[in-house]
Structure 1
Amino acid sequence: MKEINTEDYRVKGEVRLSEIATYQDFGASKDELKEQLKDIRKDLGDFQDTLYAHAKYGVLVCLQGMDTAGKDSLIREVFKDFNVRGVVVHSFKVPSTKEKKHDYLWRHYIALPERGKFAVFNRTHYENVLVTKVHPEYIMAENIPKIDSVDDIDEAFWERRYEQINAFEKHIAENGTIIFKFFLHLSKEEQRHRLLRRIRLKQKNWKFSPGDLEERKLWNKYVACYEEALGKTSKEHAPWFVVPADNKKAARVIVATILMEALKKYKDIEEPELDDEIKANLEIFKQELEKETT
């Protein structure tokens, strides 16, 4: 299997998705990719235990992508070896009535990971510069001052949103949240195959919605919005990675590798030392337990 260079996937400026591959296999078979992921996710699980004990950082993993890009299955496979108390997944749907009474970042802010835990955002705060930019009429439900019609939503409005998102991420990064943002880069043809599979396989029917086809017609608009968002919000403290998603097994290995490689650089994340008094009496405690009779 070819070595993975994680920097190949990092967004460092303007993005042209048409120039980035949607398929990768590293010259490996499906079984080899599966074994590679198994090894990495065990290391991630061990790291999560240490992160939990250390309790000074939280890790936020953001996943974005077109419909059928494989977000759900990636979460299931990459985080399979985590202690369930150490990772929380949030799937953000259409904002509720209560959520609409707050600013658009509120529901994401209250879902941020506690110190010592991972949080995975399955769709993220970036929906507010993606779906809403393709469908600006959705903004009207936010009841924002001075936005009285769609005509009031100009380019300056979106620029402010990018600035607000960058400020939000900078703030949480400076306060101990380690941020990863992954765009699962799916080809339009692969999406067609996956949508057809949802229709053909009875057990997958529940995943299909006619609305998926309506959104698919807006593919080029979504691509343009993604390119702009990725380019304007990939920062050193909150980088975007464009991950080829046509091969699900390879995509999972890439994401897991990026996570593990970056997290290993935090040398200050280690299990805390026992209190000196407790450490000095460990032998006594051990003998006390060994003397117990059942």
Structure 2
Amino acid sequence: MSDYPQNLVDALRVVGEVDLSTRATKQPDWWPKDAPQDKTTAAQRMAQMADEAGELQEKLFAGALHEELTDSLLLVLQGMDTSGKGGIVRHVMGMFDPQGVQHHAFKTPTADELAHDFLWRVEKQLPAHGVIGVFDRSHYEDVLIHKVQKLSSAQEINGRYPQILDFERRLQARSIHLHKVMLHISRDEQYERLRERLERVDKHWKYAPSDVDDRLLFDEYQRAYEVAISRTASESAPWYVIPADQKWRARLCVAELLLHTLRGIDPQWPKAGFDVAAERKRLDATK
């Protein structure tokens, strides 16, 4: 589709300072003209991408299994309540073979986790070679929630940003291709999605009274995200701010981002560790 995937990735990419009030949550004016423009064409594009993405992932997994590749991917999903993290996991990661995907949702730390450094529990969930890892929330909660809810001192939080930068440099040294994604939803759209969860019996399970408490701090969370992104987005580990008011658009963006990275890795099928012709003869002899 011409230069659209590359142009899209470039537009989503954030390096350095960010002002979220200037970043679109819906119908961005930078959206490539040759990109899908509606839900129907986006679904067609996603279906078109699935075969290629799936094959590249299988090559990545196979290459690591045969110790010819050490690359892996890590998708870090951050966003306000209702921003669509679960939908990304279902619809985008659904393009891939589950055996090559590792998903982890970070919840409130346990007593054991609190007894260690904040990155300790994150290190334990890093993807193995050849695997695509997905973090539903991540180590960034320790500078987002902690900042807004004042769960840690300002001094402690400020000390975590350089720790995160060092941690992410170590990931790159281990050939873990990091994708830090912020699903950028508007206050109005969040209201509509929370209201829907209250009005539909099949969505009550997604609702928690604390969602409204967090919504009251919407602006504070936006500022916390701006600080976190601005202090940890670099050329080697950028952030990607995804317009999330339209679910189809957000899912397409993340899918294109992952496919773009897999194409860059360009994994190949591992070489056979045996004589193919000889094995064919042996097999034929069993007819």
- TM-score w.r.t. the length of structure 1 is 0.88
Instruction: Quickly say closer, same or farther: Cα 1:187–1:50, change in 2 above 3 A.
Output: same
| 1:109-145 superposed Cα distances (whole Å, 9 cap, x missing partner) | 00000011111000011000000111123x3xxxxxx
- Number of residues paired by the alignment? 273
Q: Is the partner of 1:62 in helix, strand or coil?
A: strand
Matched, 1:288 2:282: yes
1:101 counterpart residue number: 115
What is the Cα deviation at residue 163 of structure 1?
0.1
CA distance in 2, matches of 1:72, 1:170: 27
Matched, 1:86 2:100: yes
CA distance in 2, matches of 1:176, 1:46: 20
CA distance in 2, matches of 1:96, 1:167: 24
1:34 counterpart residue number: 43
1:270 counterpart residue number: 268
CA distance in 1, matches of 2:164, 2:148: 18
Q: Is the partner of 1:67 in helix, strand or coil?
A: coil
What is the Cα deviation at residue 180 of structure 1?
0.5
Matched, 1:15 2:14: no
| 1:13-57 superposed Cα distances (whole Å, 9 cap, x missing partner) | 211111111013856231211111122233222111111122211
1:173 counterpart residue number: 172
Runs (5+) with no aligned partner, structure 2: 65-69
For residue 83 of structure 1, what is the amino acid of its counterpart? D
Maintained 8 Å contact 1:23/1:246: yes
Matched, 1:54 2:63: yes
For residue 11 of structure 2, what is the amino acid of its counterpart? D
| Structure-to-structure mapping, 1:252-263, within 5 angstroms | 252-263=251-262
1:149 counterpart residue number: none
2:142 counterpart residue number: 128
CA distance in 1, matches of 2:13, 2:278: 52
Q: Which structure: larger Rg? A: 1
CA distance in 2, matches of 1:32, 1:18: 28
Q: Is the partner of 1:21 in helix, strand or coil?
A: coil
Q: Is the partner of 2:104 in helix, strand or coil?
A: strand
Maintained 8 Å contact 1:179/1:237: no
What is the Cα deviation at residue 159 of structure 1?
2.5
What is the Cα deviation at residue 289 of structure 1?
1.7
Correspondence for 1:110 among 112, 124, 127: 124
For residue 21 of structure 1, what is the amino acid of its counterpart? A
Maintained 8 Å contact 1:59/1:178: yes
Q: Is the partner of 2:237 in helix, strand or coil?
A: coil
Instruction: Spell out structure 1 runs of 4+ moving beyond 4 A.
Output: none
CA distance in 2, matches of 1:194, 1:126: 24
What is the Cα deviation at residue 263 of structure 1?
2.7
| Structure-to-structure mapping, 1:156-235, within 5 angstroms | 156-235=155-234
CA distance in 1, matches of 2:12, 2:96: 25
1:249 counterpart residue number: 248
| 1:90-123 superposed Cα distances (whole Å, 9 cap, x missing partner) | 0001001111111111111000000111110000
Maintained 8 Å contact 1:41/1:79: no
For residue 203 of structure 1, what is the amino acid of its counterpart? D
Amino-acid identity (%)? 36
CA distance in 1, matches of 2:72, 2:11: 25
| 1:208-230 superposed Cα distances (whole Å, 9 cap, x missing partner) | 11110010000010000000111
Runs (5+) with no aligned partner, structure 1: 140-152
Maintained 8 Å contact 2:16/2:234: no
2:67 counterpart residue number: none
Q: How big is the alpha-carbon RMSD for the aligned residues of Structure 1 and Structure 2?
A: 1.7
Q: Which moved more, 1:45-54 or 1:183-192?
A: 45-54
Maintained 8 Å contact 1:41/1:256: no
| 1:36-85 superposed Cα distances (whole Å, 9 cap, x missing partner) | 11222332221111111222112111000000000001111111131211
| 1:163-216 superposed Cα distances (whole Å, 9 cap, x missing partner) | 000000101111121100100000000000000110001010111111100100
CA distance in 2, matches of 1:236, 1:89: 26
